[in-house]
Chain A
Amino acid sequence: MDRLIFLTLDGLSRGAVYAAFALALVLIWRAARVVNFAQGAMAVAAAYVAYSVTAATGSYWLGFLAALAAGLLLGAVVDRVVMRHVNHASPLNPVIVALELVLLIQAVLGMIYGSQFRPAEVPFSRSAFTVGGLTVLSPYDLFVFAAVGVVVSALAWIFARTAVGLRMRAAAFAPEVSRLLGVNVGGMLTLGWALASGVGALAAMLVIPTELGLHPHAMDLVFVSAFTAAVVGGLDSPPGAVVGGLAVGLLLSYVSGYAGSDLTPLAVLVLLLAVLLVRPGGLFSTVAARRV
C-alpha cells in the first residue's frame, strides 16, 4: 500500500510535467495544425539559457525566468523565421522541417555547451517528506505541481476569459472569418507559438533536474511521453492534454515501480498504439463537434 501511494504521487509529479509539455503540443496543433517535433529541442535550448544565466548570476530564479523568456522568444522566432514559410500542401512538410530544426538546435547546443551532462540546479530539496513512516512528496514535487497548476490555470483563463484568448481561438478555428472580423491572424499564430514554447521551456526546467541533467538530448524521451499524452487526450483538447499527461505519468510510474524501469519506454509505445487503434481522435476528441 505504501509503495502504491508513493508510486502514485511520484507518477502524478512526473505526469504534471508531461501534462505541461503535452499542453504545449496541443496549443501549437490547435493554432497551426502542426505537431511540433522540435519542441523538445527548443525547450532544451531554453534550459541552457537558464544554465548560462544561473552560472553568471548565481541565481536559480533569474535563470528560471530567463528560460521562460527564452522559450517565449524562441517560439515566436521559430514561427516567424521557419514555420510560417513552410508549405502545408503535404502534412509531412512541417514534420520534416521540425525534425531538421531538432538537428540544428541540438548541433548548435553541442557546439556551444558540449555534449556532456551538466547537473541542473533545483530551487527546493528533492528529498521526500516522511509522514507517519510514509514517504510522500518532496518540496520540489510540490513546486512542480504549483508551477504546472499556475501555468495551466493561467492559460485556461487567458483562452476562456480574455479578448486576446478569444482572438487566438477564433484565429485557430476560422482564420479567414477572423481576418474579416479584424483579427490579426498571423500575430495570433506567433503568440500561440510563443506561449506553447514558453510552456515547453517551463516543463524542461522542471523535469531536467529530476533526470540525468542538462544535455542537448535531455528532452527526447520526455517528448515521446508528452506526445503520447497529447494523443491520449486528443491533440485538439487542452484538458485532454492535462489528463493524458497525468495518466502517462501514473502509468510509467507503476510500470517502472512494479515491472522495472527498463519496460517504461515500451509501455509508452504500447499505450500510444492502443489509443491510436481504439480511439484515434484521443479520449477527449472533439471531432464530432468539428465535423458540423
Chain B
Amino acid sequence: MSELGGLLVVRGLSAGYGAAPVLHDVDLTVAPGSISAVVGANGAGKTTLLRAVSGMLRPLAGRIELAGEDLRGTPVEQLVRRGMAHVPEGRGVIGELSVDENLRLGGLWRRDRADAARALDEVYQLFEPLARRRRHLGHQLSGGERQMLALGRALVGRPRLLLLDEPSLGLAPRVVAQIMALLRQLRDRTGLAVLLVEQNVRSALSVADQGVVMSLGRVAATAPAAELRDDADLRHAYLGF
C-alpha cells in the first residue's frame, strides 16, 4: 500500500481531542534521509499532527505507516523500537533526573547494550555542554541545553525518523541556527529523516527539503522547501511574511 520512497506515509489522517477533530484528512510523506518542515500559524494543528503520528493521540481516521508498517494499534512505547523518536512540545526533559539519566533513558529499550553505550558517547561528543554537566539535574539547564538534551536523548535511540516539535521555541537565534545546522548534518551523515514542526518558518524552511503548510487543521500546500521560500503568495497567505 505504501508509496515508493516514503519512510513515513500519512494518508487521510483526522485526529483531535474529544469529539471535534483538529486535523482533517491530512496527507504527508517523509522520504528517508530528508527533512520535512511543517509550518503554519498557531492552532493550525502542527503539534496535534506529531502527537497523532507518534500515537500519543489516537487518530479518528486515516492511515499512518512507518517503513511500510501500519502503526495503528501500536502502543506509544513500542514506537522507539520501530525507529521513531518524538521530542515533544516543551522538549520533555525530565527535570528531576540528571543529564546522564535523561540521556541513558533514551537507550534503555535497546537490546544492543554496547551500541547504546556508543550512541551515548557520540551524543556527549556532539553536545559538549552536556558532557560538562552530566551530573546536573534537568531543571538546572538553560533552554539551549535542554534542547540539546532532548535531541541527544532521542539520538541515543538511533532513530530513523525524528519528530521534532518547535525546537526553536525560547532559544536565541544563534542557538536555533546551530540546531538547524545539526539537523542537516545528521540527515547527511546518518540518513536521519526529520519531521520538523516550527513557528520559526524561515529557519525551518532554510534547512528543510520539503515544506508542508498547514492551515486550520488541513494541509494547504506541500512543496519543495526552496519553492515555498520563494512563493510570495503562499507566504503572505499562510505564513505572514
Binding site for B on A (CB under 8 A): 163, 166-167, 169-170, 173-174, 176-185, 286, 289-290, 292
Contact = CB atoms under 8 A, between A and B. Distances in A.
B94 A173 contact: yes
Contacts of A166: 97, 101, 104-105, 108
B86 interface: yes
A183 B97 CA distance: 15
A286 B97 CA distance: 13
26 contacts: A163-B104, A163-B108, A167-B105, A167-B108, A169-B97, A169-B101, A170-B97, A170-B101, A173-B95, A173-B97, A176-B56, A176-B92, A178-B94, A180-B77, A180-B88, A181-B105, A181-B106, A182-B77, A182-B78, A182-B80, A182-B157, A183-B77, A183-B109, A184-B77, A289-B95, A290-B96
B148 to A, nearest CB: 16
A289 B78 CA distance: 31
A192 to B, nearest CB: 15
Interface string B61-89: 00000000000000111111100011010
Contacts of A180: 54, 56, 76-77, 79-80, 85-86, 88, 92
Nearest to B150: A177
Interface in B36-60: 54, 56
B123 to A, nearest CB: 14
Interface of B: 54, 56, 75-81, 85-86, 88, 92, 94-97, 101, 104-106, 108-109, 137, 139, 153, 157
Contacts of A184: 77
Given A166-B101, A182-B79, 6 more contacts: A166-B108, A167-B108, A169-B96, A174-B92, A180-B85, A181-B109
Given A180-B80, A292-B95, A170 B139 contact: no
Contacts of A167: 105, 108
B233 to A, nearest CB: 37
Contacts of A181: 80, 105-106, 108-109, 153, 157
A173 B88 contact: no
A12 B139 CA distance: 36
Given A182-B77, A182-B80, A182-B81, A289 B96 contact: yes
Contacts of B75: 179
A34 B159 CA distance: 36
A177 B78 CA distance: 13
Contacts of B95: 173, 289-290, 292
A183 B105 contact: yes
Contacts of B86: 180
A184 B77 CA distance: 6
A162 to B, nearest CB: 11
B94 A170 contact: yes
Nearest to B92: A177
B94 A177 contact: yes
A161 to B, nearest CB: 11
A176 to B, nearest CB: 7
A176 B88 contact: yes
B77 A185 contact: yes
Q: Which 6 A-B pairs have the closest CB atoms?
A: A182-B109, A177-B92, A182-B80, A292-B139, A179-B76, A179-B77
A181 B75 CA distance: 12
A286 B75 CA distance: 32
A144 B223 CA distance: 71
Contacts of A292: 95, 139
Contacts of B153: 181
A56 B139 CA distance: 54
A183 B79 CA distance: 11
Contacts of A170: 94, 97, 101, 105
A177 B81 CA distance: 15
Contacts of A176: 56, 88, 92
A182 B74 CA distance: 12
Nearest to B106: A181
A170 B50 CA distance: 22
Nearest to A177: B92
A289 B153 CA distance: 22
Contacts of A185: 77
Contacts of B94: 170, 173-174, 177-178
Nearest to B77: A179
Most buried by A among B88, B95, B96: B96
B165 to A, nearest CB: 11
